[in-house]
Each structure stands twice: as C-alpha cells, then as structure tokens.
Amino acid sequence: MTHRDLFTAHDEAYTPTAIGLHWLIAALMICGFTLGWVMTSIHGFTPTKLRYFSWHKWMGVTVFALAALRILWRATHRAPPLPSGMPAWQRAGAHLVHVLLYALMIAIPITGYLFSSAANVPVVYLGIVPLPRLIAPDPTLKAIFKTAHLLLNCGLAALVVAHVAAALKHQWVDRDGLLARMIPFLK
C-alpha cells in the first residue's frame, strides 16, 4: 500500500452544505436527546417541564426537516470516496451505519410526533405554527409510539457512539485522513 492509498480521504471532503447539515443535525440531536432525558426526569407537569417538552418537539421537527434536506442533498451529491485500503467489511459497516442513522433521523421525529398526536397533545412549531394531527388520540397507540420513540433513541445513541468511535479510530489509529472529510481543518 502506498502513501497515496493511505491518504486518499484527504483528496476530497464533503461539500460545505453536507458538513453544515451534519454538524447542525448532530448538535440538535444531542440537545434533543439531552433535553428528553432531563424533561422526563422532572416530576409532575411544571412550567419548566412543559417548556422543555415544547423545545424538544421543536428540535424534533427541525431535525426531521434538516434530515430530509440532507437526504435530498446526499441523493444529488456523491460522498467522497473511502480510503482505498479500507477493508470491505469496514466499507459495508460504514454504509450500514450511515443508512441506519439516516433512517433514525426520520423515524425518531415521526414516532415522537405520532406519540404527541396519540396523546392528544398538539405540536405547535416554535410556538407559532400548529402542525396537523396525523392520528386521533388513542391510549394504545400512545403507549406504542412512546415505546418506539424511546427504543429508537436508544438505538440512535448506540449508533452515534459506534460512528464516533469509528471516526476516532480512523483519525488516531489508522491515520487515514477519513475524519478530515467532515472536519476540513484537520487536513
């Protein structure tokens, strides 16, 4: 393997739009996950808890919209190539993790939205735009969507840990420049 093979990831980064969407969505997901954790630990229905629920929903709607935009962007803009020396199983794993991350960026806000609808709690985006209910209030569906939302978030957390661990491995163990595709100042 030549020096050139090891550092092919340096040759091309993601587009500034893809990088911006990646980090904005990541920040919103971290904030939404953290806020979800905090708000559900507050006992009763305090004004603070209700405010946190609203913010959590706003983040979810925003993540959904940005994820849809990111998927459209990705469909029309080729990702930079993976390092040529990367084993096939790592390529397949990277592809699978990315597909699952995209799916969860869509599925988690949808399950949260359906949970709110089934719980008969409106979603008013940014406190201004009331979003339509997609389903009628239903206690059985409320429990199903609540559980689905929680389990999908746990799955997302595990995938994010794997994604970050793989990126750090490529940066510090493999030293193949892969992380520089999403953090250009590392070049």
Q: What is the mean pLDDT of the chain?
A: 91
Angle at CA of residue 91, ends 103 and 20, nearest 5°: 50
Name, in order, each residue with C-beta under 8 angstroms of 103's C-beta and a sequence gap of 6 or more. none
The model's pTM: 0.88
pLDDT tens digits, 97-133: 999 999 999 999 999 999 999 999 999 999 999 999 9
Q: Domain 3-186 belongs to what topology?
A: Fumarate Reductase Cytochrome B subunit (1.20.950)
